[in-house]
Amino acid sequence: MTKQAPLHNPLGGDSALVKTLICAQNVPTAMQSQSGSGPVSGVLGLFRLGNCAMAALGALLAAIVCVGVDGLEEHSVAVPLSMAVVVLFTAAGNSLNDYYDRETDKVAHPRRPIPSGSVRPSQALGLSVALFTCAQVLSFLVNEWAVAIVAASILVMIGYEKLLKAEGFAGNLAISWLTGALFLFGGAAVERLDLAWILAALAFLATLGREIVKDVQDIEGDRGARHTLPMRIGAKRAGVLASASFGLAVCLSPVPYALELLSWPYVPVVVLADAIFIYCALIHFRNPEKGQKMAKLAMLVALLAFLFGGVF
């Protein structure tokens, strides 16, 4: 029997702390735990309400980083709209994930809405299409950059589920884009792409490094299921690429302060984040599990640095 690729939801799981903060699949909800109790609770369980709430918070945090708390008043329409778009996108992505994972979920997650019978596969797919469409339409009320980011993210999400999930590095890139795109979208909503692109690039690079390290850690378990980068080029070479990704994130980190986009409180906190990233770039060769966990911590500290520099 051909071994199926392990479940990996790009809008949840532990692929990055920032992603977990934004779209945490393991945030429990009453509806999710009782997804088989009826059609309404099944649909809500399909959406993962915890994910949706954390996605909205992520969009709000990105906007605060870019304009500060006081600046939100000037964008009192665009920011709530952007949060609604992210909620719709997250619900659509989770529905699509459950549709494509419906066979493996029969064993791995039998209480989820589709294997439990509370939602039919065709319903999940239909809901995903409808929600993606609503997210795209609503993005037109934000601005043209928001439209482009949502359209690109929908294509990446569909491509990941249909083609890239088991393809290792291509899947890593897709997950990294979805992580960074949230910050790019938050910045677009408040018309501050000059800062948001840096935050998005840092999130992309840090997530990419951690995803590669995680694939090194999981190389034996993934055999026969996924074609990961460590399998293709070897664990050591893959580790070098992960370290390079962390290193690029460190090199990019001074840019917001150098361009006077963030205030001085950004500096000491981002120096701490950079130190953790450098440690990750070294330790993961000996201990991939510790390396990817420290990368999660570094990403959280980096997010705090942006918040401090944007608010104070």
What lies within 8 Å, CB to CB, of 287 at 6+ separation is none
Residue 106 has φ and ψ, to the nearest 5°, of -60, -30
Q: Is the pLDDT of residue 2 over 80?
A: no
Q: Kindly indicate the confidence band of residue 213, based on its pLDDT and cuts at 50, 70 and 90.
A: very high
Q: How far apart are CA 166 and CA 162, in angstroms?
A: 9
Structure tokens at 227: 């074609």
Tens of pLDDT, residues 102-149: 988 888 889 899 999 999 999 999 999 999 999 999 999 999 999 999
Q: How far apart are CA 126 and CA 200, in angstroms?
A: 31
Q: Which regions of 96-238 does DSSP assign to beta strands (E)?
A: none
In the chain, what is the straight-line distance between the N-terminal and C-terminal CA atoms, in Å?
58
DSSP state of 118: S
Tens of pLDDT, residues 234-284: 999 999 999 999 999 999 999 999 999 999 999 999 999 999 999 999 999
What lies within 8 Å, CB to CB, of 237 at 6+ separation is none
Helix (H, G, I), strand (E, B) or coil at 13: coil
Domains of the chain: 9-191 (1.10.357.140), 196-312 (1.20.120)
Best CA proximity match to 266, nearest among 195, 186, 165, 185 = 195
Q: Is the pLDDT of residue 4 over 80?
A: no
Burial 51-81 (b: 16+ CB within 10 A, else e): bbbbbbebbbbbbbbbbbeebbeebeebbeb
